[in-house]
Structure 1
Amino acid sequence: MPIQLPELPTDPHAPFPDPRRALREPDGLLAMGGDLSPPRLLNAYASGVFPWYSDGQPLLWWSPDPRTVFETASVRLSSRFRRTLRQSDWIVTADTDFDQVIAACAHAPRAGQPGTWITSGMLDAYAQLHRLGHAHSIEVRAGPRLVGGLYGVSIGRMFFGESMVSLASGGSKVALAALATHLSEWGWPLLDAQVENPHLLSLGATSWPRDRFLDRVRALVAQAEPPGSWSRRFGTFPARLLASADSRPST
């Protein structure tokens, strides 16, 4: 019997189906249709839902159970990797080149994936969210060269990670650890990582039951935090500071 998925209404402000109605196989598939307009995307993330589809597929929406998360104070780098950072000249910034970071994520080869799920429609949609101050990029650079980065969506005091990329060994680890360091300092306790993989687990990610995740999301997105560029707020962060056990940014 073919899967019968709810189809989203045309109103982008309409509520999403209850995530507890999502399929068990494939895990978390909740609905189809709709669009990638900013109101729809912000509505989705605030509901614990995210889009994930490939070219040629309808627009699909997901809320897996369990959910993979980082507690921002608990992201970890191995002792060996931190030792290599002590002599690093890499610097980390935020929102200085969103387009370059998301394009790098889109074009990075992925094990077991013949193409990318970051379609042209996705690129346009998140660029629009970035202009509205809700989508952010983290850039790791060696001089002018991008060596790693990530991007995601912020609502209230909740950050929803979307994708990260290494263009040199360890680049994505530095982006994640630097972001978590700043979020923890700002009082943002949680970073959504969507679906687990061994790499995320090695960096300290944990799996939460979906209901626990949704409860925390509801509370965190309701906290007042105006959207806008993070470039000045984040500043220029030397990656070598992550070599310390306490790598909070200076104020």
Structure 2
Amino acid sequence: MPDQTITPELLLRGYAAGIFPMAQGRDDPEIHWIDPRRRGILPLDGFHISRSLRRTILTCGWTVTIDTAFAETLQGCADRPETWINAPIFALYTDLHTAGFAHSLEVWEGQTLVGGVYGVTLGAAFFGESMFSRRTDASKLALAYAVHRLRAGGFSLFDTQFLTPHLASLGGVEITRFDYRRRLSTALERSARFAPEGYCPSPSDVAGPSTGAGSAGVTQRSTQTS
């Protein structure tokens, strides 16, 4: 049901209870709580890196950062013909980012933002909200770096809310509401860090074993944020 009085604090309680907010469109002033019967997740130990994505990671020359362009990443995710990101949601997640609960991972081609993903962290759970791509495989590369980061930081749950064909191709699966809440409860009892101390992966780290050397890999720049 719609709720126009959602605050950042209430938003976090909603995530902890297993629900999340969406608007019906960018011009819809209302926010609705969503509690799907089946939930999409991206298993952190089952992310699939195809041969073409591995090649992109190793040779693209893009730069990956975190928390350096949160608003721009959110805007990139909303920049499509139809979006559930309305003005209240934009403001709420910007406030969550300021409070240290919402994070972005950005992909840059020179000074141009070409892809990214953002989400919310609670305990050892990462609630992936949205991603965007302005270059082939940019969003897939963002997810590959995000999964690697979450594993290094001690996360146990990557919630994608729904399962799309795009996410399924990367190893995403769908689970029941009961199973999701069981995993969520376990994750909330643990601690994790989105920016673990000293974390600075190479492209070959993210691409996985037996990938060979890339001639122009991704440069990793991180803003250390808990």
| Fold-level similarity (TM above 0.5) | yes
Indicate conservation of the 8 Å contact 1:92/1:239, yes or no: no
Which residue number corresponds to residue 100 of structure 1? 72
- Pick aligned residue for 2:20 from 27, 50, 55: 50
Q: % of aligned pairs identical?
A: 34
How far residue 182 of structure 1 moved from its aligned partner, in angstroms, is 1.2
CA separation of 1:237/1:169 partners in 2, compared to 1, >3 Å: closer, same or farther? farther
How far residue 132 of structure 1 moved from its aligned partner, in angstroms, is 0.4
Indicate conservation of the 8 Å contact 1:93/1:140, yes or no: yes
After superposition, residues 151-230 of structure 1 pair within 5 angstroms as: 151-225=118-192, 230=194
Q: Please list the CA deviations of residues 93-152 of structure 1 after superposition, one character each: whole Å capped at 9, or x if unmatched.
A: 111110110011111x2xxxx432111111111000000000000001122211110100
One-letter amino acid of the structure 1 residue matched with residue 109 of structure 2: A
Distance 1:237 1:165 in 2: 22
CA separation of 1:198/1:59 partners in 2, compared to 1, >3 Å: closer, same or farther? same
Which residue number corresponds to residue 224 of structure 2? none
Which residue number corresponds to residue 32 of structure 1? 2
CA separation of 1:235/1:145 partners in 2, compared to 1, >3 Å: closer, same or farther? farther
1:88 aligns to 2:63 (yes or no):
no
Distance 1:153 1:238 in 2: 25
Q: Please list the CA deviations of residues 163-210 of structure 1 after superposition, one character each: whole Å capped at 9, or x if unmatched.
A: 000011111111111010111122212200011110010010011111
CA separation of 1:149/1:240 partners in 2, compared to 1, >3 Å: closer, same or farther? farther
After superposition, residues 223-242 of structure 1 pair within 5 angstroms as: 223-225=190-192, 230=194, 233=197, 237-239=201-203, 241-242=205-206
Indicate conservation of the 8 Å contact 1:90/1:238, yes or no: no
How far residue 86 of structure 1 moved from its aligned partner, in angstroms, is 2.2
Which residue number corresponds to residue 74 of structure 1? 46
1:41 aligns to 2:11 (yes or no):
yes
One-letter amino acid of the structure 2 residue matched with residue 48 of structure 1: G
Indicate conservation of the 8 Å contact 2:118/2:128, yes or no: yes
CA separation of 1:244/1:232 partners in 2, compared to 1, >3 Å: closer, same or farther? closer
Which structure is higher in RCO with an 8 Å CA cutoff and minimum separation 6?
A: 2
Q: Aligned residue pairs: how many?
A: 210
Distance 1:93 1:235 in 2: 12
SS for the counterpart of 1:72 is coil
Distance 2:129 2:114 in 1: 18
SS for the counterpart of 2:120 is strand
CA separation of 1:175/1:246 partners in 2, compared to 1, >3 Å: closer, same or farther? farther
Distance 1:233 1:91 in 2: 19
How far residue 75 of structure 1 moved from its aligned partner, in angstroms, is 1.2
Distance 1:165 1:246 in 2: 28
| Higher mean C-alpha deviation, range 208-217 or range 86-95 | 86-95
How far residue 85 of structure 1 moved from its aligned partner, in angstroms, is 2.9
Gaps of 5+ in 1: 1-30
**Cα RMSD (Å):** 2.3
How far residue 232 of structure 1 moved from its aligned partner, in angstroms, is 7.5
Distance 1:140 1:225 in 2: 23
Indicate conservation of the 8 Å contact 1:88/1:239, yes or no: no
Which residue number corresponds to residue 126 of structure 1? 93
Indicate conservation of the 8 Å contact 1:68/1:195, yes or no: yes
TM value normalised by structure 2: 0.84
